[in-house]
Structures are given as C-alpha cells and as structure tokens.
Structure 1
Amino acid sequence: MRARRCEMCCNSCKYMSMGAGKIADGSNGCVAIDQYHLYKDDIQTMKKVGLDAYRFSIAWSRVLPGGRLSAGINKEGLKYYNDLIDALLVEGIEPYVTLFHWDVPQCLEEEYGGFLSTLIVKDFLEFVELCFWEFGDRVKYWITLNEPWTFTNHGYIQAIFPPNHGSTAPEPIGTPILHHRSSGKSREVAFKGDPGNEPYIVAHNLILAHAAAVDLYRKQFQVSQGGKIGVTNVSKWFEALNDNQDDNDAANRAVDFMLGWFVAPIVTGDYPPIMRQLVAERLPKFSPEQEKLIKGSYDFLGINYYTTNYATYTPNPSGTKPSYYADQLSTFTTERDGMPIGPKGGSDWMYIVPNGIYKLLVHIKKTYRDPLIYITENGVDEINDKSKTVSEARIDDMRVKYHQDHLFYIKKAIDNDGVNVKAYFIWSLFDNYEWAEGYTVRFGIFYIDFENGRLTRYPKSSAIWWKNFLATPILLRARKRQVEETEDVVDVSVKRLRSGQGYN
C-alpha cells in the first residue's frame, strides 16, 4: 500500500527510484496501485468479496519522515492511516497492521547504517510507540516485522534489496537458486558489505527491535487497548534431494537457517543449536537481559508460505569465504532427476507444492511449543503477459487450485495434528508492485489495469471463487492425483478466512 511521493524518505524509495539495474522492468513503486487515493473503493471491494480482515503496513517514514520524533511528525500520514482504519472498521473489516515492512528511513540508514547498528532499536521504539498511541484504540492485531529473513537475505547477502550489500555474483559452491521475492533478471554485481557477518548482525538487531516493541506494548498499551502482538516470518519447506541422512540433515538445517533463525530466539531465548555450531563466534550472543526480553515476545506467530525446495548436503571446499549460505553446508534446487518439484508459477522461485504448508505447520507446532498461528501470506503469481486482453488475463484457474489445495492441507494440519491456525490471508488482494520483480508478475485475485491510466480493478476467476467460498461452506474434492492418496470430499471451510494486501 505505497502511494507516497518518491522523495527519498526511505531506503526502498531511493532504491526503486534507481529503476534500471535494480528492478526487473526498470519500474518504480511510487504510485503502484494508488490505494492511497482509492482505498474507499477498495474497501467496498473487500466487503463485496466477504473479507473480514485486511492486512496492511504503516510506512515508518510516512509518519516520521526524519526517522524519529524530534525530526517531526507528518500529520498527513497519520490522517491517512486513521482514515483507512476507520473506513475498514465501518465495514466490519478488522485491520491487521504491520509496523516494519523493510523501509528504513533513509536518514537513519545514512546516519548509522540502519539495522547494522543497535541504535535502530531506540528509533524503532519511538515509531511504534507513536503508532500504538495513534491507532491502538482501534487496531487489535499488531505485527512488528514482516519477513525479517527476506529483509536480511535480500539486503545483506544477495544484494537484491537496499542497502544492496552482499554479492549478486554466483556462490562459490553449488547452483544458486532464486529466493522469495527476488528476480531472475540480470542486475549489476555488488560486493559491498560482508555476507559472512553483516546478516547475523542485522538479524540480531531486528530480533531485539521486535522484542523491545512487544515489551513496550505489553507494559504500556495491551491491558487498556486489548490487542495482540506478534511477528511474521516467511519460510519455505525443504525436502531432502536424496534419500540419505546427509540430505535429510541438510533439509533440517535449511529450515533452521530460514525459519529457526528468527523464531527460535523468541520462543527459546537463543538461536537454533545448529546455527551456534556452524556460525560459531560470528553469530551474536544475547545477554541475560536480552534473553529475558526476547523469550516469549509474541502472542501469535505470523507465517508466510509460498513454495518448497529440495536441499542437498554440500561441504565447503577449502578456502571458502564465510557466508550465510556456505554456513549451511547445503545447496538447493527445484528439480530431482530432471523433474520439477511442482507446477511453475510466474516468478522464477515459485513452484507450487501444497503439502509443504502442511509439513511446515506441523514442524512449527512440534518444534516451537504449539503457538497460535496466523497465516499472513499465501499465494501464487503468473507472468504479466501484456499480449493478453484483460478478459483473458482474468482467467486464473491455477490460482483457484493453488488456494483450494493449500486450504486442504491447512485443514488437515488443524484436524489431524491439532495445529492452532486461526487466520488466513491471501497474497494478494490486488496485483501489485512486487519488489525486485516490479510489474512483471501478478499475484492478485483482482486484476489491475496498469495500462489505462486509471488503475481499474477487475475480478479474476479466483476473486469470484473466494466470494462464493466465503458465502457458504464449500466442499472441495481432493483428487487422488492432486492432493491425497484417497479421493475424499473434505470440508475445508475455515471459521475466519482472511485476505490481505501488503504495501500497494
């Protein structure tokens, strides 16, 4: 939901303004789908579909352009979010609000390096406290961070997102695989930063900022406002490429290095033991006071799931420089014996593997003390094929099947394994500006006409399916070749199915 002027007030705006070399189609997200001006119409669209919740992000630099209170508050920014929240509630739609969606105020990036410095924690607290004061009387669901793994990986390991640290050059081992929200298009090679140390520092400070925000909310706001607060993490599921112990261990390590990196500390008070072992002294330590702060710092866990990869054990050759991926002793692929792991989506990293969400949810329940889970993103994209007419592009049977199959496995995790899932958000309600991929792919259940100058919204087949699904309990046939070994008819209606849209 990003429609503010590109005035370089956050690092994402500065990054997007560079266009060529950073974004697959050279575009920028300064207007995107212009929900800033069209939010009232969009809320009516949500109501027509039958949605009862909407997830959006508050841009730090939209309300605090100078990054901190002493630099002044943007009252227009506060008014926009107040108007949006009020309009949602009038229509019976619950706002779920993310506080950090990767846009560090550019002034803080330049002053002390953003999340490379512990100074970010104090400034982040000023921002979130302002949000709790201004919106907390109506917002009952807060998400501190969206996908800290993506922010860390793309910004400090693979040089995809700002501040463009790490390296876009091939890894020294194995075949590099594209990751969530990255683009397969060629970009300039970057060698800034230190991918063997910086990612772990940034992740550490993200966790501390999250925990400090939760602590503030619980001590000063939660009792009077009656809300919940948590964090959203993204994770793939990983399967062993080969049926041997080495690859099984590689798959387990991959889950720990992606999901466990950010979830284990807030559940147990420290990083996964395998990370302590392999990263050794490069992995920062939590002080006793910090451990007390971070442990239990969540009321719910938000989980974003899109796809699954294979993992295989790959020892590092002598002389390999330390890096996040080398530390894992694993490499990843989407093929086994020449066969893809699942049907292909639009993005180069997107393969459709519905049972991965089931395995991921069961793993979280067993490993992380049976938390309350909100699935905060789940969806699939198609290529933005400009040769198609609007009518042709609105037929998205692949997306309908994607959601049917993933809902089946979520229901299975709830019924068979007792996983505590209480919310589900689609990514995404509308086609959007998709980070490094720009406008080259479409994730929405509503088609956005980016060419007509009016950004007209049109329902796709999936929007109609969701409207019907939410209106009545629907029986989905789980076909043997598609979902399970038996041809069962399964009621996959979920008490509160939700849909969300991020920035645009």
Structure 2
Amino acid sequence: MEFAAESCLLHKSVFFIILMSLCLSAFMGAYSRTENLSMNQNSESSSPFPSNFLFGTATSSYQVEGAFSSDGKGLSNWDVFTHKPGKIMDGTNGDIADDEYHQYQEDVGLMEEIGVNSYRFSISWARILPKGRFGKVNKQGLDYYDRLINALLRKGIEPFVTLTHFDIPQELEDRYQSWLSPKIQEDFKYYADICFKKFGDRVKYWVTINEPNVAVIRGYRIGIWPPSRCSASFGNCSHGNSEKDPFVAAHNLILSHVSAVQLYRTKYQKKQGGEIGIVMDAIWFEPFSNSLEDKLAAERAQSFFLNWFLDPIILGKYPSEMKEILGQDLPEFSKYEVEKLKKNGIDFIGVNHYTSYYAKDCFFSECEPGSGASKTEGFALYVHDKNGISLGDKTTVDWLYVRPQGLEKMVTYLKERYNNLPMFITENGYGEVEDPNSTTRDIVNDVQRVNYLSSYLNSLAKAIRKGADVRGYFVWSLLDNFEWKYGENVRFGLHHVDYGTLNRTRRLSALWYKHFIAQNLPHKPPTLSIL
C-alpha cells in the first residue's frame, strides 16, 4: 500500500510534528460542535458520565485474531465461507486479519495509551471447542485468552467478553445445521460453561451473543452471510426459506442465550460477581412522515428488527406486531420456556448503534420493494432519503449515514420500553472505504471520524442526563479489521492497519478519544488484580 511505503520514509520526529498540528486543528473544530461536553470538565460532577463509567474499544475474534488454523483451532463458519469465491467483495479473508493472536501485547499497549478502562472482545468458539461438544477442549485456545485477559488486567483494563460474535464451529453446521436445530442450545450451554468456569474469576461482564438479529437476517433471510440460506426471491441462494428459517434460527438463538444465562445465574454469578447480557444491532427508525401509517411502520420496524429478540428475553413473549403479521410462521415458546425466559432475563442490554433510517408504511399503502418492505420484515420500507434530502450526512459506506440524534432516541426508546434496564453502548463508530490514492496525512487525519464520535457521544450524554442508565461506551473499533462482507476495504479503526506489514498507526481519532476520556473520567480505576 502507498501508506506503508510513505510511512517508512517519514522520520519519527517529523511524523510527530505533523500529527500534533493535525490534532490542534481538528480538536478546535470537533470541540466547537460538542456543546463543550469535554473541554469544560473542571470537576468530576460536571461530566454526565459517572466515575465508574466504562470507556472502551471493541473488536471481535474473527475480525482481528487471525491464526485461523493455529494451535489446535478448528474451522469456523466464517473460515469456510470466506474461502468460497465471490463471497467477500475484495476477495480477502480473516486468515491473518490483524494477527492479534500474536500481537495482543502491542494492542493492549495501544489501549493503555488511549486510557480506556475496558476492552470488549469475543472468544472464538472454534478455538476453544474445534468440534463443539463432539471433540476435546483445546487447551492452547484457553491459554491464549488467559494471556489476553491477564495482560488487560495488568493495565487496569476490564475485559468485556462476548461468547459468540457471528463465528461458530463449522462442525455444528455440518452436523445439524447449527441455529436451525434445537441441538445447538446444549452446545452453546456446554461452551458457555467452559468459559464461565475458566475465565469468570476475572471477567465481570459477559455477553452471550452479538447481534443475533443481524446474524439471522443476513444468514437466513437474504443469504449474504453463512450459512447462505434464503428463498430465491430474497437472494442468490441454493437452499433455504426466507419466510420460515429466520424465525426458527432466532428462536434457537433466544433459547441458547437463556440457557447460558440460567447456567451463569445458578452456578457462577453469586461466587464470581459478574453480569451477563446480550448485544443487539440497534438502528433508530424515524417515521417517514407524520402520518399514523408511517408512525406504525416505524414501530413495526423496531419490532421486526430489535424487539424480536429483546421482548422474549426481557418480557417473555414476541412482539404483538410480529404475531399478528406472521401467524404460524412465528414459533411459539412452551410454558416451560416462557417461565425460563421470565425468570432469567438479562442484567444489561448491549446496544450497537451506528445509523438511522426512515420507515415507510407498506402495510396500508402501496410501497416499492426494498429492505423492510416484505411480510417477514414487517411491511416497513427502510429509506435514507425523503424528497431528495438525506436523513443524515452520507459516508462512503453504503449503509452508514451520520444521524447523531438517533443514539439519544434509541437509548430513550429502550429506557422506556424495558424499564430503564442498564445499557452499554457496545459499538459505535465511523467507517470509510479506503481510497487507494490516500496519502499518509489523509489516513491519519480522520477528522470525519472525530466529528462523528464527538457528536454521538454528545447525543449519548443528553440521554444520560435525562435519566437513561447507560454504564459504558465502546468505540468500534480499536483497529481497522476484516469487515465481514466488505473485507479489508472498509476501515473503522482508531488505528490504521497496513495489511501488508500489520503495522498499527495511531489516527487522530485515537488522540481525540484519549483526551475525551481524560476530561470525562479523570480518575482512572485502580489496576485490577489477577486472581
């Protein structure tokens, strides 16, 4: 890459001067748009963020670890999927990714430099159980996460651990079609038990499943992610049923989650003193107009995207809108399962929020086809533009529009619907398609990311001031990484990664985040002991 060649020629002192000049100009612009949220924090009480607030960064195993076949790791569904021609836009895969498996010490050092007090990462299920329950536990996999967790704790960084972030052992797909079978509930519980037992003395925040709504929609409705199941009318799939498979898979994901929560609550939580939750992709849906039809469409959009999972987990039942529209295509919970759901619930909701859409009615009105417009999606078309005007500023990533007020609205919606259950903003970040003609200055001087983060944090602060129980915020991402269908072309990192050399280079946004944390969390928690 041009960046690699150019950066090698820069003397360290010159590079430092360039960075500092960039910092000064960007800081002035960014802070002028954040209502003095971080510049005027003269006391701890003036910050909307409590003293025990978690400020962190986030990654996931498949996107950063690499070492896809090292030290006894088994194949995951994403290992297999990315090696099929045409599945990833730029033809890359996660075989190496950021090689955090070997470079985790350096990455922990990057976090320490920023001043974060938490790191959200996921464990590779296939690294722990290469064959699921059908094989042995991989000790080398356990040892790796032991080393990572201990390295974090030595620096006073709280591990915030996700059990599965889209990647699962391919063995489970081959044996019984993974999430389409109730058998996976026992597999997931078995895996969770190993992790709780091994790491729970040091891990105090557990996430069962990351974005099950996204996994189901992309894997079983439109088929662009593994296991590539969909109806012909929804995508280019060789098998699948988009009207039934997503709801079967979702049902098993929900019951797998609650099985892990029940296990943690009954066997580990009292002794280990941790918390457990689930992370959802949370898009804010604005009514396309002030009509009753579009307002109802916005609520249906939330029910078919977010409440689809949270209502059963927290309230013990699927949303009424889904029952009315889907009828028998929506699975039912047994009386035993309903009691299990109501009894266990969650300790917190993880919120991954990036963008907002308009929702346009397709139930009472004629509507063009598109995302959200079908029966299985709630007859609520997702659109970004109204009368030629975008809902938010466009980015180079096709789905990402900048709409900071959406975060405050999303958090407020969850607060009101679920009785102000504690929340963590487990992902929020700005992505861009890297221009191959970018200079070193362009790559490092990511002012647009700084502006995005500052405006969204300002929106979050408003929600907190109004009483929302939000306890943490994690930037996606610590590093540029393998961005699923987009491969390596889309960059979200506070640090640039040269995929040729794997060198990490700090961006302006990392310096901005460091300053923001220092201003809003002046007393860093003491270093945690390693038990």
* Interval of TM-score (by shorter of Structure 1 and Structure 2): 0.7 to 0.9
What is the distance in 1 between the residues matched to 2:110 and 2:91?
30
2:404 is aligned to: 354
Q: Secondary structure at the match of 2:280?
A: strand
1:326 is aligned to: 375
Amino acid at match of 1:130: I
What is the distance in 2 between the residues matched to 1:12 and 1:496?
37
Structure 2 residue aligned with 1:84, among 148, 151, 156?
148
- 1:2 paired with 2:84, answer no
Structure 1 residue aligned with 2:441, among 377, 391, 394?
391
Amino acid at match of 1:75: K
Contact 2:373 2:380 in 1 (8 A): no
What is the distance in 2 between the residues matched to 1:344 and 1:8?
40
Q: Secondary structure at the match of 1:254?
A: helix
2:180 is aligned to: 116
What is the distance in 1 between the residues matched to 2:279 and 2:184?
19
2:192 is aligned to: 128
**1:306-321 alignment runs, 5 A limit:** 306-315=354-363
What is the distance in 2 between the residues matched to 1:247 and 1:444?
36
1:495 offset after TM fit, Å?
8.6
2:100 is aligned to: 35
1:456 is aligned to: 503
Contact 1:158 1:168 in 2 (8 A): no
What RMSD over aligned residues (CA atoms) do the two structures have, in Å?
2.0
1:272 offset after TM fit, Å?
0.7
Between Structure 1 and Structure 2, how many residues are aligned?
453
1:368 offset after TM fit, Å?
1.1
What is the distance in 1 between the residues matched to 2:522 and 2:480?
25
Q: Deviations over 1:56-109 (max 9, x none)?
A: 0011111100111x4111111111000000000011000000001112211110
Amino acid at match of 1:4: A
1:286 offset after TM fit, Å?
0.7
2:461 is aligned to: 411
What are structure 2's unaligned runs of at least 5 residues?
1-63, 526-531
1:487 is aligned to: none
1:494 offset after TM fit, Å?
9.7
- 1:427 paired with 2:476, answer yes
1:12 is aligned to: 78
1:496 offset after TM fit, Å?
8.4
Amino acid at match of 2:353: Y
Q: Deviations over 1:438-463 (max 9, x none)?
A: 0111001111112xx32111111101
What is the distance in 1 between the residues matched to 2:181 and 2:294?
36
Contact 2:124 2:164 in 1 (8 A): yes
Residues 8 and 131 of structure 1: CA distance in aligned 2, closer, same or farther (over 3 Å) = closer
Q: Secondary structure at the match of 2:83?
A: helix
Residues 495 and 203 of structure 1: CA distance in aligned 2, closer, same or farther (over 3 Å) = farther
Contact 1:197 1:282 in 2 (8 A): yes
Q: Secondary structure at the match of 2:393?
A: coil
1:145 is aligned to: 209
2:114 is aligned to: 49
Q: Deviations over 1:118-152 (max 9, x none)?
A: 00000111111000111111111100000000110
1:235 offset after TM fit, Å?
1.4
1:326 offset after TM fit, Å?
2.3
What is the distance in 2 between the residues matched to 1:93 and 1:167?
45
1:325 offset after TM fit, Å?
3.5
Q: Deviations over 1:178-227 (max 9, x none)?
A: xxxxxxxxxx8224200100000000000000000000001101111111
1:160 offset after TM fit, Å?
1.1
Residues 104 and 324 of structure 1: CA distance in aligned 2, closer, same or farther (over 3 Å) = farther
Structure 2-normalised TM-score?
0.82
- 1:265 paired with 2:329, answer no
Residues 442 and 204 of structure 1: CA distance in aligned 2, closer, same or farther (over 3 Å) = same
Amino acid at match of 1:47: E
- 1:302 paired with 2:365, answer no
Q: Deviations over 1:254-293 (max 9, x none)?
A: 0111110011111110011111111111111111111111
What is the distance in 2 between the residues matched to 1:168 and 1:401?
41
Contact 2:166 2:215 in 1 (8 A): yes
What is the distance in 1 between the residues matched to 2:448 and 2:313?
36
Contact 2:362 2:373 in 1 (8 A): no
Q: Which has the higher helix share?
A: 2
Range 199-208 or range 407-416, more displaced = 407-416
- Higher RCO (C-alpha under 8 Å, 6+ residues apart): 2
Q: Secondary structure at the match of 1:348?
A: coil
What is the distance in 2 between the residues matched to 1:15 and 1:254?
29
Q: Secondary structure at the match of 2:270?
A: helix
Residues 496 and 441 of structure 1: CA distance in aligned 2, closer, same or farther (over 3 Å) = farther
Q: Deviations over 1:392-429 (max 9, x none)?
A: 2111111111111111111111112x110000000011
What is the distance in 1 between the residues matched to 2:188 and 2:479?
29
1:162 is aligned to: 226
Contact 1:199 1:324 in 2 (8 A): no
Structure 1-normalised TM-score?
0.87
What is the distance in 1 between the residues matched to 2:247 and 2:373?
8
Structure 2 residue aligned with 1:345, among 392, 395, 401?
395
